[in-house]
Amino acid sequence: MGAHQEGKREAGDDAHGVDIDSLARQLREELAAANSSAVQVQLTGGCPIIIAEVGSLTRNVDAAEYDPHHVAIGPYHRLRNPDLARNDEKIRCLNAVLSAASNAAAATTLEVYLDEIANLEIRARSCYAHSFSLESREFVRMLLLDGCYLLVRFGDVVRRANGAAAGKGGATTVLAPAAGGGGGDMLEAVAVVRDVFYLAENQIPFFVIDKIHQLTRSDTTVSAVDAIAGYVRELLRRQQYSVATPALSEPTVPGNLLHLLHMNLVPTVHPPRTSDDNKVSRKRRVGRWKTATEYHLAGVKFKSRPVGGGAGNGGARSILDVRLDAGGGTLEIPRLNIDGETWRLLRNLMALEQRNPEITKSHVTAYCVFVSQLACTASDVEFLARRGVVSHGLGNHGEVAALFSDLCKGVVFCADDPEQNYLRGVCQALESGVRCHRRRWMVWLRRTYFSNPWLVLGLAAAVLGLVCTMVQAVYSVLSYRQGGR
């Protein structure tokens, strides 16, 4: 019986040409390695944010919006374009960190840095959606150099550590966003900010940066999150995108620098609850937003909300704070200042949300869907610009409209899911107002008769003539009755 089965196995192997025993051993080894890695990652805390390549459907719209042009951070673009590794500059940053550490009360050697980062290797690799051909030696080296580069340029770690060693305390002024901390001209500073903060693929886990910061500073009064978060807040304030100050403590610590920026772009307005409080509205599909001119023709007014300035002045905390007024007839939208980096920032924030929806939610995606459908034609952009809702210095309104139209191509989004679409209630309330027959009739009357002053005068004269005729008729009837008596 055994010989018969062995003969069948050999015959089967010859038939399909596959060494079953060898393939089974290989798969068992891979399963064991995967299980071992999963256990170690679980023990070290896992990874809050997954860093992944942008999907081809989205990237194909404009691949340049996702690629760095000055410096590569992390493994994706380091492997694709070694020229962006900037090893010489990163070595100088490592030297600056080591010098700052040697001046601290508890000096830290290079070997200590390497040993601590090596302990984080498995956890760091788990933060990437793809595996890499980098050996452990190169991977640890990359993490250390990139972390030192980010802390020197944006965490002010050298000046803070030296100040603490000299007895000056740990509090220093956060570097201005345009300066970049490491010097250089304005174009280079802008390029570094764009590559480091705006790109979803060009990232390393934040816990690596935090570990280097802990080893460099002799005290813990200012964490790496606090140091870089101040820089991010100043950056967004200058662009007038956000003035929010999110809580940056467990369990909401950032996964990487783009996630840190994303945490400042969370809507603070509360949409109307009427849409979600009854079963009928839950079943009603939202569909797509109308364009700005369509809403305008339906009687909806548009008002620009300043970002900042206090809630008493109608100010918004971020560009996501879109709301309807109490009467439901005015759509209040924070002013969006568009420059050469706006589309890159929004697209990469959406890419971050697409890969990590449970942690980041889909607020930025919902906002982008809203503005891309609201301003998809040149006339819409022109109208919104007149209302102060959109401001841009690009070639013309048609160019901006084309960029709005392409903004959400390839993005997966369910407008009817209240967990994904924080503007769902606003959309439903707006649609209810647009469909109101009384409001539509009033809009038609106003546009038909009250838009032209001569028509208004003519209508007033006609009404006055009608009233006079009716009064004359009444007097005639009364006179006839009195004469008959």
Report whether pLDDT(446) > 60: no
Q: What is the pLDDT confidence band of residue 227, given thresholds at 50, 70 and 90? A: confident
Question: Distance of CA 253 to CAs 47, 206, 210, Å?
Answer: 11, 9, 11
* pLDDT band per the 50, 70, 90 thresholds, residue 176: very low
CA 228 to chain CA mean position, Å:
18
Of the listed ranges 29-38, 432-441, 451-460, the one predicted with least confidence: 432-441
**Exposure b/e, 225-250, CB count within 10 A at least 16 = b:** bebbbbbbbebbbebbbbbbebebee
In this predicted structure, the answer to whether residue 397 has a pLDDT above a threshold of 60 is yes
Contact 216/151 with Cβ under 8 angstroms? yes
| Average pLDDT of the residues in 133-156 | 94
Query: Is 146 within 8 Å of 73 (Cβ atoms)?
Result: yes
Q: What is the pLDDT of residue 483?
A: 63
Count CA atoms within 13 Å of residue 125 on its CB side.
18
Check pLDDT > 90 for residue 431. Answer: no
Q: How far is CA 458 from CA 5, 191, 448, 451, 466, in A?
A: 103, 62, 13, 12, 12
For residue 453, say if its preceding peptide bond is cis, omega within 30 degrees of 0.
Answer: no
Within 10 angstroms of residue 224's Cβ, the number of other Cβ atoms is 26
Contacts of 239 (CB under 8 A, 6+ apart): 337, 339
| Cα distance between residue 485 and residue 481, in whole Å | 7
Q: Which token pair is 5?
A: 């089965």
As a whole number, the mean pLDDT across the chain is: 81
Give residue 467's identity as a one-letter amino acid code: V
CA distance 259 to 197: 9
Mean pLDDT on 196-224: 90
